[in-house]
Amino acid sequence: MFNPNVVVKNIVMQTGVENVVTLIARILMAYIFIVAGWGKLTAYSATAGYMEAMGVPAALLPLTILVEFGGGLALLFGFQARFAAFGLGVFSILTAFIFHGADDQAQQINFMKNLAMAGGLFYLMLYGAGRLSLDHKIEN
């Protein structure tokens, strides 16, 4: 009997394919954090004002940039990826509730996006960065 789930599993679990898919997944997860962190760095004053308006001290902006930009780069290169994924997952949940809890549809979508990202990040935390990563090079 044809089982499409088994077919996909047999394709993606081949060593070369698995390595490339894991790398692509890391790149896709890292992208949003690198871009967001860089954006906060280049629009520092505006971001600080927005944070203050949302009740978050602007003094936390350097930490926010470090978490987003630094954590995004860590995911991208697969360096301390489990730790970075955990931190970014918690960060995503916190920011969902702090910044995206409004009733309008756009904020609800951003809220759900943050939760979905946290789910993917926690999965990465469990299974690691894969063979095409600095973590793999360091551990072996």
How high is the pLDDT of residue 69?
A: 98
Q: What pTM does this model have?
A: 0.90
Which of these, 93, 85, 127, 83, lies nearest to 113 by C-alpha position?
93
Domain locations in the chain as residue ranges: 16-137
pLDDT grade, residue 31 (50/70/90)? very high
**Tokens at 50, concatenated:** 């927005």
pLDDT digits (tens, 9 = 90+) for 71-115: 999 999 999 999 999 999 999 999 999 999 888 999 999 999 999
Residue percentage of the chain with pLDDT more than 70 = 100
| Cα–Cα dist 112/17, whole Å | 29
| Cα–Cα dist 86/83, whole Å | 5
